[in-house]
Structure 1
Amino acid sequence: MNEDPAAAPQPVILGIDDLRPLPRATRLARTSREGVRLLEEHRDRFVDELWLDHDLGGDDSIMPVVALLEEAAFHGRPFRIGTVFVHSANPIGAETVVRSLTRWNYQVRRATASSSLP
Structure 2
Amino acid sequence: MAAPAPVVLGIDDLRSLPRATRIARTSREGIQLLQEHRDSFIDELWLDHDLGGDDTIMPVVTLMEEAAFNGRPFQIGTVFVHSANPIGAETVVRSLTRWNYQVRRATA
Deviation at 1:8, TM superposition (A): 1.0
The number of equivalent residue pairs is: 108
Unmatched 5+ stretches in structure 1 = none
Query: Which segments of structure 1 move beyond 4 Å, counting only runs of 4 or more?
Result: none
2:11 maps to which residue? 16
Deviation at 1:32, TM superposition (A): 0.2
Q: TM-score, normalised by structure 1?
A: 0.90
Question: Are 1:52 and 2:50 counterparts?
Answer: no
Residue identity (%) = 84
Match of 1:75 among 70, 81, 101: 70
Three-state SS of the structure 2 residue aligned to 1:51 is strand
Q: TM-score, normalised by structure 2?
A: 0.98
Deviation at 1:64, TM superposition (A): 0.3
Three-state SS of the structure 2 residue aligned to 1:102 is helix
Deviation per residue, 1:19-67 (Å, 9 max, x gap): 0000110000000000000000000000000000000000000000000
Match of 2:98 among 100, 103, 112: 103
Distance 2:18 2:24 in 1: 13
